[in-house]
Every structure is written in structure tokens, then in C-alpha cells.
Amino acid sequence: MDSSNGQPEKPVISPGVDRFFINVHTTFLFVARFFRELFRFPFETREFIRQCYMVGYKSLALISLTGFITGLVFTKQSRPSLSEFGATSWLPSLIAIAVIRALAPLVTALICAGKVGSSIGAELGSMRVTEQIDAMEVSAINPFKYLVVTRVLATTVCLPILMAYTALVGLLGSYLDVHVNEQTSITFFFLKAFSDITFLDLFASTFKAMAYGFTIGIVSCYQGYNASQGTQGVGKAANISVVISMFLIFIEEVIIVQVVNSIR
Amino acid sequence: MKQRNPEIDMNDVVISIRDLYKSFGSNHVLRGINLDVHKGENVVVLGRSGTGKSVLIKIIVGLLYPDAGTVNVLGKDVSALTEADLRELRMQVGFSFQSAALYDSMTVGENLAFPLRRNNKQISNDQVRRMVDIVLDAVGLSQAINQLPAELSGGQRKRIGIARTLILKPQIMLYDEPTAGLDPITCIEINNLINEVQRRFNTSSIIITHDLTCAKETGDSIAVMQEGQFVAQGSFDDVFRKENDLIQSFYQYNFIQ
């Protein structure tokens, strides 16, 4: 921070706190620009579909594995406690509530924050430091609309779909354990599992996944788009994208759970 | 040495810069720059690294904003343009980056087609292909159409970077260190290409360089920059007759005397 006469300006509070508030301000400007560009013609359909493929389809293998293991392990861990009360028949609905209300959105978001967030942060960061974003600007292309809007939209749209998929795979993992131990049929398992799931649960989870997707997209794009300091900046952008996304996801989880529980 | 382009129209100023100042914190990069570029003219801005040459052309194309002063490009004040008007203007101004700045994930053909498709939604695939072929032929790299930027040499990347700007048929070309990091033979090829672009596409150019050979071979006029100011402007001979330490040291340390 320097004034125009060349003398360093005195920080208002302290350099660190000042920098924090400046970052908050620029982030809000970035988010505001996203919404402004989102509704401005032309819409980047092809790039949006490409990004959906990258975010959604390319994450399926990892999501399948983690979702399945989450459901299976959670069932195995819950079984002994329920057995003590002879309540193992509650397992399907217990697991469904846990998976649909909390685990599926959270696991999907954390996996995507790691995989997609770091990838977006590194890609845009690398484009920034190698002047590819500047090259787009001077070619009369709007890089914000092409790179940022499409990616944020893709993560926002794909996260709820991935979340639903994770929930399904997680329940299948749970069914495997229940079937092995109780020889329950798949129809009965799913009927029992969804017996206690309400519309509010489905709506809240979908909303949560959208919020997490938006957070991952906007944080990663912001970090990558504003990267500096060469290759070191690219690594930093990828790393900070993941850390901040995960941090914000947990904060959002707490807030949304409080709001939903107050409605319930 | 380059013969002055007879096509230069001294009554038509395409870029006019007046009292331009730019600072980054306490670092005063540009300190009162004045420059005119006429239609058909190649102006070389010569100076040591870190003197603000690249900042100057980034202000011309609206990538940076000046602290004070005016930049008129094709009769428009760049700082006063709306986003849409600036985009319109940028279609008339080609910018060749020092690093070429090719899109890594696209082939050469896709790199060239990208700005064309983005700025002309109605254009057919045949027209795009024809334009790509024309500019690739102009830079002598028709065979590289399906290669990725990572598979190209430094000189080839610069040529493709120039081709990507030419595809929008700009009236003005801005070259940022076109010969930096290249071997002497490739430098000569790039210098010849800059002159060929000027002749074939009738462009006016600003060439940012610290390479005296490039300045001599491509410039119709030369402006020498030192500490954010022009210390000499004119033809190559006029400039290098001046008694200035920087100019003389440039001459002494180059082998073209």
C-alpha cells in the first residue's frame, strides 16, 4: 500500500487486517460481477457443457468409491450400538437420514473441493501467469464470462446431481451390509430407508449441495483468476482454493442445519 | 537497415499518447510519455528491461489504466471507453505477447479459430478453416495446424501468437519483445515477419524491444525509453547520433555496428 507520492501509507488497523478487508471487498466485487455476467448475452453453452463433463462425469469414479464406502462403513459402525437394543431393523432409515441429510452433501462437497477446486484454481492460475487470460481480453473475448461464469455454474449445477448419486451409492453400500447380515430384499430396504425422509430433507440437501458447489466454484475461480507470482502463485491458488472451500463448506453446513432444524 | 515504409500517412495518427503517467505503488514506471504512431508506421520502443515498455502497450490496449494522461487509439480515448466499446476497439488492435500466450489446451488450429469464432457467431466452419490457412501461411507454419503449443519451439510459438492476432485483421499491431529469448537466425525470421505483416496487412505497429537488431530491421522510427521517459525519438540514424549514455551503451553492447 503506497500513496501516489511514493510514501508508504499507514495501515488503518494493521497490514494483515487491512489486507483481509481488502480481500473481502474484492471477493464481493468478484461475486457481484459473476451475477452481472451470468445474465448477460451470449451464454457460453458449449463451454458450460464441457465444464459439466469435467466437474460431473470426471468425478464419478471417485464419488462412487467414497460414497459406497461411507454407506458401508457407517452401517457397520452403527450396527453394534443398535444391536444392543435389538433395533437393527432401524438401520435402513437411520442410514438414509444420515446419508441424505448430512453425509452425501458433505462427502460430495469435500471430494469436489479437493478434486475440482484444486483443478480450477491451478488451471486458471496457470492461465493468468502465462498471460492466456490477458490474451483473451485483447482478442476481444470476455474471459470472465468464458472461464469463470461457466465453471461456477457447472459446479453449482453438478454438485446436487453428484450428491444424489452419492446418496444412492451410499445407500447401496449400506444395503450390502444389511443384506449380508439380515438377508433383507432391496425393495424392502429402500422402502424402509425412505419412510422417514421428508420433502424438507430432500430440498435442504439439494440446496446445501448447490451452495457448496457455488462456494467451490467461486472460491477456486477467484483464487485462480487473481493468481500472481509465477508458478509459485499457481500452487498457492490451487492450495488456497481447497482450504478456503472446505472451511466455508463446514461453516455453511452449520448455518444451513440450524435454519432447517428451526423450520422442521 | 530497414527502408522507411513509403505508405506511411503522416496526416493519419492511429495512436496518440499525451503526458502518460503510471505508477505501481512507489515505483513510477511511466513519467510523462508522448508518442504518435502514424498509419502504416512501425515505431520501435527501445529500452532496458523494467523501464515500462510493456506497461505502455498494456495501457494502449486497455489491460492497464493510466494514472494520468490520455491514450487515443483510432480516435478513441481508451480510458473513457465502455466495456463493449473497448472490446470493439480491441478487435482492431493485435497484441503479440512476449510469451506468445497460446492456449495450452488447444491445438494451433483451435488457437487461431478461437478468437474468430468468439467474435463472429455467424461464421461458417469453411470460412474459419480458410482464415486459419491464410494466417498460418502468412507466418509460414501451415504444417503446425494440428500441433499443441507444447510441441512448438519458441520461435514457432511467437509466429503462431502473431498469426492469432492477424486472424482478426487488426489495423494496429503491438509486439511485446518479439525476439526475446530466440536464437539470432530465428530473430531475423521474426524481424522479416514483422515487416511482412506491415506490408501484407497494411498495419501500424509498436514494437517493444531491447534488441537493437530488431529495432534497426523493423522500425520506421525509434523511441528510446529510460526511466519511464523517452530520451530520444526519430529515425534510427538520428537517434543513435545523440550523445546519451543509454543510447551509446546500447550501441556498444550490440554487435551490429
Q: What does chain A come to in residues?
A: 264
By Cβ distance, the residue of A8, A132, A138 closest to B103 is: A132
Domain count, chain A: 2
Q: Is residue A4 scored above 50 in pLDDT?
A: no
pLDDT of residue A228: 87
Q: Is B36 buried (19+), middle (13-18) or exposed (0-12) by CB count in 10 A?
A: middle
Total beta-carbon pairs less than 8 A apart between chain A and chain B: 65
Question: What DSSP line would sit under B125-140, residue for residue?
Answer: HHHHHHHHHHHHHHTT
Same domain for A189 and A171 = yes
* B242 inside domain: yes
Q: Which of A102, A112, A108 is nearest to A204 (CA)?
A: A102
Looking at the complex, report in whole angstroms how far the Cα of residue B242 sits from the nearest Cα belonging to chain A: 32
Q: Is residue A68 scored above 80 in pLDDT?
A: yes
Per-residue pLDDT tens over the stretch A126-176: 999 999 999 999 998 999 999 999 999 999 999 999 999 999 999 999 999
Host domain of residue A1: 1-40
Are A37 and A144 spatial neighbours (Cβ–Cβ below 8 Å)? yes
Provide, for chain A, the percentages of residues in helix, strand and coil under a 3-state DSSP scheme, each rounded to the nearest 5: 85, 0, 15
Per-residue pLDDT tens over the stretch A92-110: 999 999 999 999 999 999 9
Q: In a structure prediction context, what are the per-residue pLDDT tens digits for chain B, which is 257 residues long?
A: 777 777 777 888 999 999 999 998 888 999 999 999 999 999 999 988 888 899 999 999 999 999 999 999 999 999 999 988 999 999 999 999 998 999 998 999 999 999 999 888 889 999 999 999 999 998 889 999 999 999 999 889 999 999 999 999 999 999 999 998 888 888 999 999 999 999 988 899 999 998 888 988 999 999 999 888 898 888 888 887 777 777 777 766 665 44
The residues, ordered by sequence, that sit 6+ positions from B13 with a Cβ below 8 Å of its Cβ are B36, B37, B38, B39, B72
Are A121 and A237 spatial neighbours (Cβ–Cβ below 8 Å)? yes
* B70 inside domain: no
Same domain for A159 and A213 = yes
* B25 inside domain: no
* B159 inside domain: yes
* B53 inside domain: yes
Residue A2: pLDDT band by 50, 70, 90 thresholds?
A: very low
Same domain for A35 and A133 = no
pLDDT of residue B44: 94
Question: Do β-strands B76-77 and B68-73 pair in parallel, antiparallel, or remain unpaired?
Answer: antiparallel
Residue A8: pLDDT band by 50, 70, 90 thresholds?
A: low
Q: Mutate which of A139, A144, A150 to disrupt the B interface (most B C-beta within 10 Å)? A: A139
Same domain for A117 and A171 = yes
pLDDT of residue B257: 44
Cα four-point dihedral sign B173, B169, B90, A33 = negative
Arithmetic mean of pLDDT, A112-127: 95
Q: Quote the cell numbers at residue A77.
A: 459402525
Question: What long-range pairs does B248-256 form, CB within 8 A, spacing at least 24?
Answer: B250/B46, B250/B212, B250/B224, B251/B212, B254/B212, B254/B213, B256/B212, B256/B213, B256/B216
Contact residues, chain A, for B102 at CB < 8 Å: 132, 135
By Cβ distance, the residue of A8, A131, A140 closest to B119 is: A140
Same domain for A109 and A4 = no
* Cα angle for residues B206, B210, B214 (degrees, 5° grid): 65
Cα four-point dihedral sign B224, B175, B155, B149 = positive
Dmax (CA) for chain B in angstroms is 57
Same domain for A67 and A105 = yes
Host domain of residue B133: 40-64+91-252
**Interchain CB distance below 8 Å, B97 and A134:** yes
Residue ranges of chain B whose CB lies within 8 Å of a chain A CB: 23, 25-26, 28, 58, 61-63, 67, 87-88, 90-91, 93-95, 97, 99, 101-104, 114-115, 118-119, 121, 164-165, 168
Same domain for A224 and A245 = yes
* B84 inside domain: no
Q: Is residue A226 scored above 90 in pLDDT?
A: yes
Arithmetic mean of pLDDT, A173-194: 92
Are A159 and A112 spatial neighbours (Cβ–Cβ below 8 Å)? yes
Domain count, chain B: 1
| CA–CA dist B118, B95 (Å, integer) | 17
Same domain for A55 and A15 = no
By Cβ distance, the residue of B25, B28, B91 closest to A140 is: B91
**Residue of chain A whose alpha carbon sits nearest to that of B60:** A138
Residue A9: pLDDT band by 50, 70, 90 thresholds?
A: low
ipTM of the modeled complex: 0.87
Contact residues, chain A, for B116 at CB < 8 Å: none
| CA–CA dist B170, B176 (Å, integer) | 16
Same domain for A223 and A167 = yes
pLDDT of residue A144: 95
Question: What DSSP line would sit under A39-67, residue for residue?
Answer: TSSSP-HHHHHHHHHHHTGGGHHHHHHHH
* Cα angle for residues B198, B97, B120 (degrees, 5° grid): 75
pLDDT of residue A164: 96
* B15 inside domain: no
Are A99 and A171 spatial neighbours (Cβ–Cβ below 8 Å)? yes
**Residue of chain B whose alpha carbon sits nearest to that of A126:** B104
Residue A217: pLDDT band by 50, 70, 90 thresholds?
A: very high
**Residue of chain B whose alpha carbon sits nearest to that of A136:** B115
pLDDT of residue A41: 82
Question: What DSSP line would sit under B150-205, residue for residue?
Answer: GGS-HHHHHHHHHHHHHTT--SEEEEESTTTT--HHHHHHHHHHHHHHHHHH--EE
| Cα of A175 vs its chain's centroid, Å | 26
**Interchain CB distance below 8 Å, B103 and A141:** no
By Cβ distance, the residue of A4, A6, A135 closest to B97 is: A135
Looking at the complex, report in whole angstroms how far the Cα of residue A104 sits from the nearest Cα belonging to chain B: 33
* B240 inside domain: yes
Are B50 and B39 spatial neighbours (Cβ–Cβ below 8 Å)? no
pLDDT of residue A3: 43
pLDDT of residue B144: 92
Arithmetic mean of pLDDT, A113-130: 95
pLDDT of residue B85: 93
By Cβ distance, the residue of A4, A130, A140 closest to B99 is: A130
Q: What is the CATH number of the domain that holds B226?
A: 3.40.50.300
| CA–CA dist A62, A262 (Å, integer) | 34
pLDDT of residue A220: 97
Q: Quote the cell numbers at residue A109.
A: 462437497
Arithmetic mean of pLDDT, A60-64: 95
Residue ranges of chain A whose CB lies within 8 Å of a chain B CB: 1-2, 4, 6-8, 42, 126-127, 130-132, 134-135, 137-142, 146
